[in-house]
Amino acid sequence: AQSVTQPDIHITVSEGASLELRCNYSYGATPYLFWYVQSPGQGLQLLLKYFSGDTLVQGIKGFEAEFKRSQSSFNLRKPSVHWSDAAEYFCAVAALGTSYGKLTFGQGTILTVHP
Amino acid sequence: DTEVTQTPKHLVMGMTNKKSLKCEQHMGHRAMYWYKQKAKKPPELMFVYSYEKLSINESVPSRFSPECPNSSLLNLHLHALQPEDSALYLCASSQDSGGLGGYTFGSGTRLTVV
């Protein structure tokens, strides 16, 4: 079965600083990877997704992520963080086979942005 | 229309009540999902409907009963819930039955069981 690990529970950055959120996955075949963002009490908004092709994926709100098969990672980056980026971020993986249609989430990383 | 709409946004119900959560999408997506999210936890899959048929039930207690009347609507019927069922219930949809095109989530229904 697939799994996702987000090693950082909580990250604090200053506004304007760069950001990297880590995500490691475990899956036997080619994974389908996603990053979602969730503001308090809200649903999840898709930031970006990777299925195949170019390993550097561009998303909305200035985010990007890089798929590294050798490291089983799909880290999310942003060059300059805005105060409105404060939220919880979830990495997720979808898989085929018996889990067809199942999206598995990591535990999430809460981002705090200092002015 | 690129949204998944969930109603109501908030619901308080007693343990003997019967209520329903509703979810609607008009993107032509053929798969719809119910997720449950407890505070400070990631969403957990409950049910998957593919082409209006239940394809995955993640061993959810029978007090939760899903229904997919048509390709645009998904309901979750609630009966005899427990306080530990209080959570944010999220509906999602995807273009294909495997969800590989990405999932669109609604804003959720905040359920409190008293």
pLDDT tens-digit profile of B6-17? 999 999 999 999
pLDDT at A53: 83
Q: Do A43 and B108 touch (CB under 8 A)?
A: yes
Would you give the distance in Å from CA A62 to the centre of its chain? Answer: 13
> Is the model's pLDDT at B113 over the cut of 80?
yes
Q: Look at residues B53, B52, B57 and name the one whose alpha carbon lies nearest to residue B34.
A: B57
Q: How far, in Å, CA of A89 to CA of B8, rounded?
A: 25
Q: Look at residues B75, B94, B99 and name the one whose alpha carbon lies nearest to residue B8.
A: B75
The residue among B39 and A102 whose pLDDT is bigger is B39
Mutate to test the interface with B, among A36, A100, A107 (most CBs of B within 10 A): A100
Q: Do B90 and A43 touch (CB under 8 A)?
A: yes
Q: How far, in Å, CA of A15 to CA of A31, rounded?
A: 33
> Is the model's pLDDT at B24 over the cut of 70?
yes
Q: Do B90 and A45 touch (CB under 8 A)?
A: no
Tokens 């032509």 identify what position?
B28
- Determine the Cα angle at A79 with ends A75 and A85, to 5°: 80
Q: Look at residues A100, A94, A72, A110 and name the one whose alpha carbon lies nearest to residue B41.
A: A110
List, as ranges, residues 1-20 from B with C-beta within 8 Å of A.
4, 6
Nearest-Å Rg of the Cα atoms of chain B is: 13
| B11 token code pair | 């619901």
| Band of residue B100 on the pLDDT scale cut at 50, 70, 90 | low
Among A5-9, A15-19, A47-51, the range scoring the smallest mean pLDDT is A47-51
Contacting residues for B32 by C-beta, under 8 A, at least 6 apart: B23, B25, B48, B49, B68, B74, B91, B92, B93
- Determine the Cα angle at B113 with ends B109 and B114, to 5°: 145
The 8-class DSSP code of residue A41 comes to T
Q: Look at residues A33, A26, A50, A51 and name the one whose alpha carbon lies nearest to residue A90.
A: A33
Longest Cα pair distance anywhere in chain B, in angstroms? Answer: 39
pLDDT at A34: 93
